[in-house]
Structure formats: C-alpha cells, structure tokens
Chains A and B, each alone.
Chain A
Amino acid sequence: MNSTRKAYGEFLSEYGNNENVVVLDADLAGATKTDMFMKKFPIRHIDVGIAEQDLVGTACGLALSGKIVFASTFAMFMAGRAYDQIRNTAAYSHVNVNLCATHAGVMVGEDGPTHQCIEDIALMNVIPTMKVLAPADDVSTKKILELCTKEDGPKYIRLGRSDVEDVYNSDSKFEIGGSNVFGNGIDGTIYTYGSTLQIALKAKEMLKANGIDVRVVDLYSIKPVDRSVIIKCAKETEKLVSMEDHSIIGGIGSIVSNVLCEEYPKKLEKIGINDTFGKSGNWKDVYKYFGLTEDNIISKF
C-alpha cells in the first residue's frame, strides 16, 4: 500500500541524487510529497509560494536552462489555475518539464469539489504535444517517472492522494504510449487508469466467480494512448466499459470512444463523474456516491 504522491516523493528523494534535478512546489510540499526531496536537497527545491502560474513559468525557465525539472501542486491548481502557462509557455515552447499534479480526482475526499479536479485529463489532453500519464500504484508511479526523465517535451503526470493497493511488481513494464492488459477474457473489457484500476481488477475477479470472464486494460498512457490495444479488445470482447475518477466528458471514456468511432464502432458504457461537481466525504464514500465501485462495474454485465 502506498499513495502515488508518496511514491513520487520517494522517487524524487532517490532520483534527486542527480545534481541536475530541480523540484518546484507552490506551498504544498508536505502534501505533494516534494518535501521528501526538499529535506535531502534543500538548495534544489524551489518553493514559489501560493502562485501556480509562477510555478509553471519558473519551472520552464529552469528546464530551458538544462535542468531536469519536476513541478508540483494539486491537479486543480496545475491544470486549472496554470492552464495558459502550461499551454503557451511549457507546451508551445516544447519545454522538457515534468508537471506532477497530485490530489487528482474526487479521491481528494474531504476537501470537496473546489479541490477535486475532474477535468485535468481533458484539459491536458487537448494541448498540442502534451504527454499525459496516470500511474495507478507505487511501482507504476516510479517506473513512469523514470520514463518521463528520458522523454523530451512537456509531460503531465496525474497522481492521487490516498493509499492504494499494489498492482504491479518490479518486473512490470511501461512505455510512453503503452498499456497493460490483465486477463484475456472475452465477455468484456474494462478500460481504466489510475485509482480505479484496483477497483476494476476486483470487479474482474468478482465477475469471474459468477462465470463472466472480462479483461482489464490499464491505459496509464492517456496521451499518446495505446490505440491498438483499445481496438484489439473491442474486437475480441463482448461488452465495453470505461471507468475513471474524472469527468466522463473528455476523460478516458471519451478518448476510447473517439478511437472506436474512428476505427471499430462499438458501444461503450462510461463510468465516471457525470457532468457534475465532486462531493466532500471520506474518499471511499465519495467513490461509492459516484458509482466508482466494483458493484457498478458488475451491474453493467
């Protein structure tokens, strides 16, 4: 069990041994876990205070000077508050910067709708050349961050607040534009990523006990997305479902729909936040409130 934000902090405190690494935060170092880097490498930790637009701009200036840069704040304030800076300074200038946004989705829980960013995938996905990645657990976070350090250009890495169960192990493989498929059932496919992967995998086991064999696709690389696996699973399986802690408008449901529409038209049922704001509560209760549950997936079959 680990949260993906803490996995990020652990990655930074290790990878930060590289003296070219600079990490930036906007007064949320304790929450985004960049404080783990700060404690080891205080000189290379830049805290710009509550100023997310400045955060992204400063990060770009450092990256344009050859630094390996990770910048963090909550997803709401990164993708929302600093959208123009990400679009016009980071992406348009093709800056090699890692925008690591924590507290994505309604998983934020108690802080409620103002802090629950359910639009960040949509906002980042539409920016030309932006790469969007969403790891699901401890291992995938660290491996995907490692990949990002070798990938040119702007990257948005979506991280979560709460502890989640481990899915992957040290042998698991990741690539930009890749995916991981769990199982080879033909009764259906559940397309998902991030914090709903564990839920989908549990649903898969529960369905199996009832004689329904589905597969789960972890589309951790939201952009570029693994089009071939989306189509392959649509061809090979009966029923298609997507699930995400994000708006169903512009999220993975929309992205999968686009691919299917262009190459293999087939019905997809989307589970996510349905054009509404989030809700305060314990995150598991919030997930239940919005139908981000095993039972909701099972009800689709």
Chain B
Amino acid sequence: MNTEQLQQKSKEIRKDIINMIYNAKSGHPGGSLSCTDILVALFHKEMNLGLDENGNRIDKFILSKGHCAPAYYAVLSSVGFIPHEDLDSLRKIDSYLEGHPTNKINGVDVSSGSLGQGLSVANGMAIAKKLDNSQGRVYCVLGDGEIEEGQIWEACMTANKYKLDNLVAIVDYNGLQIDGNIEDVKGLDKIKEKFEAFGWYAQEINGHDFHEIISAIDNTKKSKRPNVIIAKTIKGKGVSFMENKAGWHGKAPNEEEYNIAIKELS
C-alpha cells in the first residue's frame, strides 16, 4: 500500500472505531484513534502475517495497551481475521469481541488489558524466535501511560540482556491518561533517554505520518538492539472534539456527537 492508501485505510478504521464504541455505548475512543495509524502501518505495510514451519506467525503483534481493542479489532477485520459485520457486536453479551483483547479472537495471540504485561510476552516471543533461528519479528504497541507500570522496565532490561533486535516496541505517546496530562499524573519526561539508558535503540517520530512510521521501522531492521519507536500522537485523532481531551479516554459518544464524528471522518 502507498501512503495515500494507508491514509484511506486509517480513515475507514477510525470510522469503524467510532461505530463500534457508539454501538457498544462504552469503550476507549481516545487511545484507539491515536494508535490507528501505527496499527495500519504494521498490518497493511510492515508485518508478514503468514505462518512459519512451526505454525507460528512470522511477525507477531501484541497490543499491550489492550483498552484500544476497537482499533485492534477493526484492523484485524481489515486484514480478514474478523468478519466486518461482527464489529458491531463489540462488548455485547452474545459476542466474542470482549471489551479487551482475548486470544479466543482469530489473530490475537495473547490477552491484554491489565496494563504493563505485553512487553514481557513480546520478549518471550522474541527469545523463542532467536532459539528457533526464525527471521520474524515481534511488534508490541504500548501506551504512554502504560509505561508507568514497573513491569515494562523489568522487560526493558530483559530485552537488553538477550539483545532482542527482533523486537520493536512502539509507544503511542498521546500525552494523556485517565486522570489528565501524563506529566501531571506521573511524569514521564525524557522517554527516549530512558529507553536509551536501558540499552534500547530509540527513535522519536510523528505517529500520524506514515513516511515517518515506515522509515523508523526500516531503521530498526539495521539495529542490533531492542527497538523502541516513540510515536507522538494526538489522543482522539481525527475527531475534532475528542482531540487532546483526556475526557475521551474511555467514553462513548452520544447520538449528536456520533453524527459529527462520522461526518468528520467521511
């Protein structure tokens, strides 16, 4: 896919996200919209979703910030893992599309939702690929608020110890978390330097620019260290009244808001 096609795909995914959350009457639009372009770049451009001789996916993906399930499910649907009509059933009692990802869903390898846990799992997958001499890579999307969890930094040290150059973590750095601004709630100042101090190859990019996302991922292919891409994003990206508002972390639009959002994304 070229950049224009990727942008178009993102637009469709964002519309799906709003539809899903509106139908479910709950969910997390802010972070889902901020990580959409990253997920689209991975699933529609970068990742090899085929299987190796051991039956493992060649490139593995973990959405560690599991609350952005709407974006994940919509993207999985766009590559054929989930029937598109199923998306409307998100969070409903008779649906398999749980509020947070579960590996009962086709294309999802591991459940997530309790924050901070995905990077360790990604490490385990990356170590397994090394043991198997497999060429595939492991991609893990983290929330910026999520990296306040201590386990993330435990995992950073493990990835460095085992020189997991086949691992790419992408931080969806939208700057907001439930209680407000990241810097006010906890203070994550100098994220890049923090990862570098842990031995990682770190890059900072605009997480809504496909050229930057793709070229950053290309750079990681030459690195000999675990890789992190700190993708600066806008929470609620694409819907004017949701952009940069912590209040849209985890609530559904009402009918009026829904209509405006869909219009803006069309």
| Distance of A43 Cα from B127 Cα, bound (Å) | 11
Is B178 an interface position by the 8 A CB rule? no
A268 within 8 A of B: no
Q: Which of A43, A64, A67, A89 contacts B117 (CB 8 A)?
A: A89
Q: Is B111 an interface residue (CB 8 A)?
A: yes
The reply to whether B125 and A46 contact each other, CB–CB distance below 8 Å, is: no
Q: Is the CB of A66 within 8 A of B124?
A: no
Interface residues in B, total, Cβ within 8 A: 36
- Does B114 sit at the interface, judged by CB under 8 A? yes
Task: Name the contact of A61 in the complex, choosing from B114, B121, B132 (C-beta under 8 A).
Answer: B121
Per-residue CB contact flags for chain A residues 41-65 toward chain B (1 = under 8 Å, else 0) read 0011010110101111111111111
CB distance from B135 to the nearest CB of A (A): 14
B157 — nearest CB in chain A belongs to which residue?
A: A49
| A44: nearest chain-B partner, CB-CB | B131
Q: Which residues does chain B contribute within 8 Å of A64, judged by CB atoms?
A: 103, 109-110, 121, 124-125
Using C-beta atoms within 8 Å of the partner chain, give the interface range for chain A.
Answer: 20 to 34
Return the contact of B120 from the options A44, A54, A93 (Cβ within 8 A): A54
A93–B111 CB distance below 8 A: yes
Which A residues, 33 to 90, have Cβ-Cβ distances below 8 Å to chain B?
A: 43-44, 46, 48-49, 51, 53-67, 84-85, 87-89
Query: Is B54 at the interface (CB under 8 A from chain A)?
Result: yes
Among B103, B121, B154, contact of A48 (Cβ-Cβ < 8 Å)? B154
8 A Cβ contacts from A4-42 to B: 22
Q: Which residues of B contact A84 (CB under 8 A)?
A: 114, 117
Q: Which positions in A face B, CB cutoff 8 Å?
A: 22, 43-44, 46, 48-49, 51, 53-67, 84-85, 87-89, 92-95
In addition to A57-B121, A64-B125, A89-B117, 12 A-B residue pairs with Cβ atoms within 8 Å of each other are A43-B131, A53-B120, A53-B151, A57-B117, A61-B121, A61-B122, A61-B124, A64-B124, A65-B60, A66-B55, A66-B56, A89-B112
